[in-house]
Structure 1
Amino acid sequence: MTEFNTGNVPQAPQSTDQRLIAALARDLRALDYTVDGVERLLGPAAYEALGRDQLVPAKLATEQKPEADAPDPLAAVVRLWLLGEEVEEAHLAAALPELGLDGLAALGLATNDGGRFRASVDLRPYSFDVTNLWVASDLGAHQQAGVLRRDHVLGIGQASLTLAQLTIRRDVDRALDLGTGCGIQLFHLLSHARHVTATDISERALAFTRFNLLLNAPALDLDPEDLTARVSLRLGSLLDPVAGERFDLVVSNPPFVITPRTSETAGDELFTYRDGGLPGDDIVATLVRRLPSVLAPGGVAQMLGNWEIPADAPSWHSRLESWLDPDTEAWVIQREQLSPAAYAETWLRDASENRDPRLYERVYRAYLEDFGTRNVEAIGFGMVWLRRPGAALKHDGGGQVMGRDSGGQVLGRDGGGQVLGRDGGTSVSGAGDVQTHDGSGGMLRRFEELTYPLEQPIGPHLAAAVERHDWLAAHRGDFADQRLTVAEDVTEERHQRPGAEHPGVILLRQGGGLRRTNLMSSELAGLVSASDGELTVGQLVTALAALLEQPGEEFAARLLEETRNLVLDGFLLPAAP
C-alpha cells in the first residue's frame, strides 16, 4: 500500500501550504461563493442556462454596469472560474483580499497575463444536504477551446451525480471510492463513513482531490494536519491499491467508456477520466467479478457501467450474468441503450473531438469497426449493485444529490436529471425484460430495464427495496401468516369499455420511488384492496379462492407469489406490529 500525500503535482492545484488554502476558503465564504449565492447573482434564467453549459446569459449578468461604482467581487470570481473569462488584476485582488494574487498563482488556480488573470482550473460551489463545498477540477469544454487534455480531471458531471443519488447511504466503518476523480463520491462518503479510501490511476486526479479535501476540511470534519485519520488516497489501477483489504461499502464511477481498439487509435489518445484502457467492456466485467473480493460480509458495492449487447445475445443482461460469482447478490438496472453509432457520437462530443473534423471522422470509424469485430448491436448503460452474503442491509435513508451534464460541470445542489425508469416483468410501463430470483429463494438476483424519470434521490428507495427482499427471505416459510398494508403512494386505475360490466384493465401505480405500474388480475386487485393489516395474506387468499370458486392449490400458490412480488416492488408493505 502506497499512500499518495504529495501536494505538488505539475499542472494541478498545489496543496503544500495550508495557510494559503485556508485564506482562500475565508475569501470564498466572505463572497458568499455558494450555489445559492451564485444563483442570486445571476438570476434564475442565467443560472439555469449555466447549468446547460450556456455561458452568454451569465456573462451578461456579471458584466459591470455603467452606473456601478466598482465591480461586484463575487462577479469577478464567477467570471474567472465558472465562465473562463479573463479578469482584471484589480478586480480579482478586491475579491480575494486574504489570499492575494500571489497566493492565487502559488496555488495554481489562475495565471497572470500582463495584468489580466485567466483560470487554470474550474473552481465552483457544490452542496448536498446542508453541506456547502467548493470543488476544483479541470476546465470543461465549454470554458476553453480545443479538445480536452488526455489526463483531464472531470468535475461535477452527470455520471458522478447519478452515482451519488443512487448510492444507498448507511453508516459504515470503512468505505472505498474506486476511481475518485476530483473526489465527489468521497465527499458524500465522509458524511456517513468513519474512514474512506479513495483510489485513482491519475496523479493529477489525486492532487485535485487532496486540494479539495483541504479546502473543505471544516465542512467535511477533517483535520488538515492529519488527513489520514479519515482519508487514505492511493495511486493505482482497479483494486491493486487495496489488495487484501475489506470494505463495508464500495462506490465506483470507473472509466467505463468502451474505447476503440484498432490500428486507428493509440494508447496516448485515451482520456483517463473515461477510458479504462481495456478492450470492450472488460473494465466493467473485471470489476463485477473482483469487487466482491474486497467486500466485508454484508458489504455492498454500487457502480456505474457500460456493457456490450451482441446481436446474437439471448438478452441484454446475459453477459452480465456470466460475470457474476454464484454467491454474489446482484441488482442491475439498465437505464439506456445506444446503437454503436449513437454511442460513438456521444463520446466524441463529450471530449470535444468533434471540433477537429479529421480526428472526428477517424475515431468515429474506429468506434464502428471496433464494435463490428465483436458483433455488438447495442451498448447498455446503468447501475450495478452487488452484495456479499452476510448481515442484512441497514440504512439511514440519508439525503443524496443529483444533477446533470456529462462532459462539463454543474452547480451542485440537486438538479432535474433522471437516473432510472421503466419497469420490466409484469409492469405495463416497461418494455424491457426482467429476470428476478429473490424472496422465496433468499438470494437477490435482478436484471431490469428502467428508463423513465423516477423520484430523486433514488438511493433510499433502492435501500427500501433491498430491505423488503431481506424481509421476504426471512419469511420464506411463513409468508402466508404475515399481514400487509398498501403503500401510501399507491393508487388504482381501472379501464373498461362503455357499457362493459367489468373493467378490462386494472392498473396499480406508484406515485413515488421507482414509480412502477403493475397490470393486475381481478383477484390480485381484490387482495390489494383488502390489505389493511387486519387479515393475514393466507386468510385473504382463502377468502378469494372461496369467492371466485377456485379451491385448487395452483390458484393459491399463484396468488401468493404475485402478492410476494407486490411486496418486493413496494406496492404492499409489511404491516406494523
Structure 2
Amino acid sequence: MTDFSHIPDAPRSDHPELLRALAADLSALDYTVDGVETLLGAEAYAAFGRDQTVPASLKLKHDGGPLATVVKLWLLAQPVDHAAIEAALPTLGVDGLLELGLAEYAHQGATLSASVDLRPYGWPADADGAAGADLWVASDLAAHQRPGVLRKDHVLGIGQASLTLAQGTIRRHVDRALDLGTGCGIQTFHLLHHARIVVATDISERALAFTRFNLLLNAAELGLKAEDFDPANPDARISLRLGSLLEPVAGEEFDLVVSNPPFVITPRRRGEGAADQFTYRDGGLPGDDIVATLVRTLPTVLAPGGTAQMLGNWEIYAAGEGTAAAEGTAAQDGAPSAWHSRPASWLADGTEAWFLQREMVGPGQYAETWLQDASEARDAAHYEESYADYLDDFASRNVAGIGFGYIWLRRPESALKAGAAIRRFEEILYPIEQPVGPHLAAAVERADWVGALDPDSEGLAGEYLVVAEDVTEERHQKPGAEHPGVILLRQGAGLRRTNLLSTELAGFVSASDGELTAGQIVGALAMLLERDDAGFAHDLLEDVRNLVLEGFLLPA
C-alpha cells in the first residue's frame, strides 16, 4: 500500500527531519499570513487574492532580507540567489530544499527557482474558543506564476472555492470525517481540529503526495505524530486513499463528509481520456453529472444523523425545455427555468437537503471563466475552438444558465425523522457574513426545532418567540401617506436576508418579546383586525414559521 511520500513531480515527505528543519526556518522568518502582509502592506498583499504579483514585486524589488527572499521564491516565483536561500533557510539549506523537491536550479545553476507554490495559510481563534492556526500549504505553481497552460494533473492551491467550503462547513466534533477530493489538503487541515479520524481521498497520486507533505510539514501545529500516518493502521488519525468518488470508502460510514469536487462543467470530446482532463476541476462526466452523482450517493456513506457539505455547479434549463435534449431537439433561446428543478431531482427519498445558490451565470460567461482559469486564452485559435465547444455543449442540453453554491445533505437518524426531512432551496446572490458555517448550523438547529413541534398539539402556537438581536425593521411610505407601503425586516449578520412583511406579520414581530405565546399574539391580532376566519390564523402562523426558519424570530 503506497504512502504517497515519494511520487514523481511532487514534493517529498519521506524525510521528516528535513520537514522539521523547514518548519523551524519558516517559523523563525515569521512566514505567516500576518508576517507576509506586514512585509508587503495590505494593498500588495490583497493583490495576491486577484492573482496579481506586480505590486508585491515592486515592493520587494530592493529588499534582500530573508523573509523577502522566500516570498520572492514561492509567492512571486522569481529566481533567487543561492546564497540568499542559504541565509533565509539556514537549518534546511539549499541541499535540503532540493531534496524535498521545493526548488530547482535555473540559469546554469546561478539561481534557484520554485518547483511549487509554498504559502502561509491560517485562521484566527474564534469567539467560541476554537483554536487558531498558522500553517503552510504547498501546491503547484499557478498560471500567473508559470507561463503556459496548466498541466492536466495540476494540484490546486488555496483557491476561492476552497475557502468558500472551509468557511461554510458546520464545525461539530465527530468521530470519522471524509475529505472527498482532498487536493492539497485544505479541508483536511480544518477537519483535524474536530474529527478523531480523517480519511482523505483523491483520484490523483500527486494530490495525495501534496496532502501528505502539507500534513507532515504542519504536524506540530496539527498535533500529528508519525503513527498517525501509518497506512496499515485502521485507527490512524489520517488515511490517504487513491480512487474515484466513493470507491475508496465503499462500505464505510462517516459522521461528516466535505467535498470540493471537480464540479466544473466541461465539454466532452469523442475519444478523450483522463489524460486530456484537468483533474482538479473536471470529473470526466458530461454536464453536471459529477455533482448529481455525489448528491445521490453521498448519503450511502453517512452514519445515521451524518451530514455532507460540498460545493457544486448545476445546469439550469431554458424554461419549458428541460426534456428537449433527450428528445433530440435543438436548443432554443429562453429564460432560465426554476433553478432548483434539476438539483431537487437528484435527491433520494428521505435525504435531507439544503441547496444555497450563490451565483448564476450564462453559458458564455461560464466558458470565459474556465478557459481563463487554465490559461487556455493564450492561443487565440484554441480559445475560439474551445469557447465554441462550450456553447455547443450547453446548447445540446438547452442550458440557459449555470448555478453555483453550497450543498448540505443529511441522513436522518431514523425513518421517523425522515418524515420531517429538511428540503430547502434558497438563492442568495449578495455578500454574506463569513465564516457562514456557524450561521448555517444555527439554521439547521432551528429547522430541527420547528420540525420537532407536535403537529397534533398547539405546535408553534404554544411557543414563546423573540426577535433576533441583529434584526432591524424598515418602513417606507410616500410623503403624506397615513400608513407605510413597504415594511422590511433585515438581518445584519449571517445570511443577511431581507423579508417583506404584511401588516399583520409586522404586528406579530413587534409583539414578539417572549411574554405571549405565538397563538396569543395571533389571537390578539385577529381581534384587532376583525379577522375571525380560520385561514387568518393558519396563514399567519405559517409566515411566522418561515421567519423562525430564516432566523428573524427565535425561541425565547
Please report how far the alpha carbon of residue 45 of structure 1 lies from its aligned counterpart in structure 2 after TM superposition: 2.1
Deviations 1:318-359 (A, max 9, x none): 111111101100000111111111111100000000012222
Task: Answer yes or no: is the 8 Å Cα contact 1:265–1:366 preserved in 2.
Answer: no
Task: Answer yes or no: is the 8 Å Cα contact 1:18–1:224 preserved in 2.
Answer: no
Please report how far the alpha carbon of residue 39 of structure 1 lies from its aligned counterpart in structure 2 after TM superposition: 0.9
Question: Take 2:431 and 2:60, find their aligned partners in 1: how far apart are those partners?
Answer: 34
Please report how far the alpha carbon of residue 484 of structure 1 lies from its aligned counterpart in structure 2 after TM superposition: 0.4
2:503 to 522, 530, 534: 522
Please report how far the alpha carbon of residue 517 of structure 1 lies from its aligned counterpart in structure 2 after TM superposition: 0.8
In structure 1, the residue matched to 2:331 is none
Question: Take 1:165 and 1:184, find their aligned partners in 2: how far apart are those partners?
Answer: 11
Please report how far the alpha carbon of residue 127 of structure 1 lies from its aligned counterpart in structure 2 after TM superposition: 0.5
In structure 2, the residue matched to 1:165 is 167
Q: Letter of the aligned partner of 1:339 in structure 2? A: G
What aligned pairs does 1:496-507 form with structure 2 within 5 A after superposition? Answer: 496-507=477-488
Please report how far the alpha carbon of residue 268 of structure 1 lies from its aligned counterpart in structure 2 after TM superposition: 3.0
Q: 1:484 is paired with a residue of what secondary structure? A: strand
1:42 to 35, 40, 43: 40
1:276 to 283, 291, 297: 283
More off after superposition, 43-52 vs 231-240: 43-52
Task: Answer yes or no: is the 8 Å Cα contact 2:350–2:418 preserved in 1.
Answer: no
Q: Letter of the aligned partner of 1:342 in structure 2? A: Q
Q: 2:135 is paired with a residue of what secondary structure? A: strand
1:324 to 347, 355, 359: 347
In structure 2, the residue matched to 1:400 is none
Q: 1:307 is paired with a residue of what secondary structure? A: strand
In structure 1, the residue matched to 2:332 is none
Question: Take 2:44 and 2:546, find their aligned partners in 1: how far apart are those partners?
Answer: 46
More off after superposition, 43-52 vs 486-495: 43-52
In structure 1, the residue matched to 2:193 is 191
Question: Take 1:44 and 1:568, find their aligned partners in 2: how far apart are those partners?
Answer: 39
Q: Letter of the aligned partner of 2:302 in structure 1? A: L
1:213 to 208, 212, 215: 215
In structure 1, the residue matched to 2:328 is none
Q: 1:535 is paired with a residue of what secondary structure? A: strand
Q: Letter of the aligned partner of 2:468 in structure 1? A: A
What aligned pairs does 1:151-550 form with structure 2 within 5 A after superposition? Answer: 151-228=153-230, 229-263=236-270, 267-311=274-318, 312-313=321-322, 314-390=337-413, 442-477=420-455, 478-550=459-531
Task: Answer yes or no: is the 8 Å Cα contact 2:351–2:418 preserved in 1.
Answer: no
Question: Take 2:480 and 2:40, find their aligned partners in 1: how far apart are those partners?
Answer: 58
Task: Answer yes or no: is the 8 Å Cα contact 2:181–2:203 preserved in 1.
Answer: yes
Please report how far the alpha carbon of residue 198 of structure 1 lies from its aligned counterpart in structure 2 after TM superposition: 0.3
Please report how far the alpha carbon of residue 378 of structure 1 lies from its aligned counterpart in structure 2 after TM superposition: 1.2
Question: Take 2:227 and 2:487, find their aligned partners in 1: how far apart are those partners?
Answer: 62
Deviations 1:414-462 (A, max 9, x none): xxxxxxxxxxxxxxxxxxxxxxxxx997221011211000111111111
In structure 1, the residue matched to 2:58 is 60
Q: 1:353 is paired with a residue of what secondary structure? A: coil
Q: 2:222 is paired with a residue of what secondary structure? A: coil
Task: Answer yes or no: is the 8 Å Cα contact 2:156–2:184 preserved in 1.
Answer: yes
Please report how far the alpha carbon of residue 514 of structure 1 lies from its aligned counterpart in structure 2 after TM superposition: 0.9
Q: 2:483 is paired with a residue of what secondary structure? A: coil
Q: 2:121 is paired with a residue of what secondary structure? A: strand
In structure 2, the residue matched to 1:83 is 76
Task: Answer yes or no: is the 8 Å Cα contact 2:103–2:115 preserved in 1.
Answer: yes
What aligned pairs does 1:21-32 form with structure 2 within 5 A after superposition? Answer: 21-32=19-30
**Which structure is richer in relative contact order (CA contacts within 8 A, separation 6 or more)?**
1
Q: Letter of the aligned partner of 2:192 in structure 1? A: L
Task: Answer yes or no: is the 8 Å Cα contact 1:256–1:284 preserved in 2.
Answer: yes
Q: Letter of the aligned partner of 1:252 in structure 2? A: S
Please report how far the alpha carbon of residue 224 of structure 1 lies from its aligned counterpart in structure 2 after TM superposition: 2.9
Q: Does 1:563 align with 2:541?
A: no
1:126 to 89, 107, 121: 121
Question: Take 1:262 and 1:374, find their aligned partners in 2: how far apart are those partners?
Answer: 15
In structure 2, the residue matched to 1:117 is 112
Task: Answer yes or no: is the 8 Å Cα contact 2:4–2:208 preserved in 1.
Answer: no
Inter-CA distance 123–523: structure 2 relative to 1 (3 Å threshold): same
Deviations 1:278-317 (A, max 9, x none): 1111111100000000000000001111111121245211
Deviations 1:21-55 (A, max 9, x none): 11000010111101111111112222122232211
In structure 2, the residue matched to 1:572 is 553
Deviations 1:454-494 (A, max 9, x none): 11111111111110000001114321111000000111111
In structure 2, the residue matched to 1:18 is 16
Please report how far the alpha carbon of residue 370 of structure 1 lies from its aligned counterpart in structure 2 after TM superposition: 1.4
Q: Letter of the aligned partner of 1:335 in structure 2? A: R
Please report how far the alpha carbon of residue 267 of structure 1 lies from its aligned counterpart in structure 2 after TM superposition: 4.5
Inter-CA distance 440–519: structure 2 relative to 1 (3 Å threshold): farther
Task: Answer yes or no: is the 8 Å Cα contact 2:464–2:515 preserved in 1.
Answer: yes
Q: 1:245 is paired with a residue of what secondary structure? A: coil
Task: Answer yes or no: is the 8 Å Cα contact 2:138–2:157 preserved in 1.
Answer: yes
Q: Letter of the aligned partner of 1:384 in structure 2? A: I
Task: Answer yes or no: is the 8 Å Cα contact 1:264–1:362 preserved in 2.
Answer: no
In structure 1, the residue matched to 2:333 is none
| TM-score, L = length of structure 2 | 0.92
Task: Answer yes or no: is the 8 Å Cα contact 1:64–1:72 preserved in 2.
Answer: no
Question: Take 1:572 and 1:468, find their aligned partners in 2: how far apart are those partners?
Answer: 10
Please report how far the alpha carbon of residue 173 of structure 1 lies from its aligned counterpart in structure 2 after TM superposition: 0.4
Deviations 1:379-436 (A, max 9, x none): 11111110000189xxxxxxxxxxxxxxxxxxxxxxxxxxxxxxxxxxxxxxxxxxxx
Task: Answer yes or no: is the 8 Å Cα contact 2:312–2:406 preserved in 1.
Answer: yes
Task: Answer yes or no: is the 8 Å Cα contact 1:181–1:200 preserved in 2.
Answer: yes
Percent identity of equivalent pairs: 68
Please report how far the alpha carbon of residue 186 of structure 1 lies from its aligned counterpart in structure 2 after TM superposition: 0.4
Task: Answer yes or no: is the 8 Å Cα contact 2:138–2:214 preserved in 1.
Answer: yes
Inter-CA distance 266–194: structure 2 relative to 1 (3 Å threshold): closer
1:33 to 19, 31, 35: 31
Q: 1:277 is paired with a residue of what secondary structure? A: coil
Question: Take 1:56 and 1:321, find their aligned partners in 2: how far apart are those partners?
Answer: 45
Q: 1:12 is paired with a residue of what secondary structure? A: coil
In structure 2, the residue matched to 1:398 is none
Task: Answer yes or no: is the 8 Å Cα contact 1:81–1:119 preserved in 2.
Answer: yes
Question: Take 2:354 and 2:188, find their aligned partners in 1: how far apart are those partners?
Answer: 23
Give unpaired runs (5+ residues) of structure 1.
66-70, 393-438
Q: 1:550 is paired with a residue of what secondary structure? A: coil
More off after superposition, 306-315 vs 27-36: 306-315
Deviations 1:493-538 (A, max 9, x none): 1111121111111111111111111111111111110110010001
Question: Take 2:271 and 2:389, find their aligned partners in 1: how far apart are those partners?
Answer: 6
Deviations 1:202-255 (A, max 9, x none): 000000000000000011111034324211000000000000000000000000
Question: Take 2:397 and 2:86, find their aligned partners in 1: how far apart are those partners?
Answer: 57
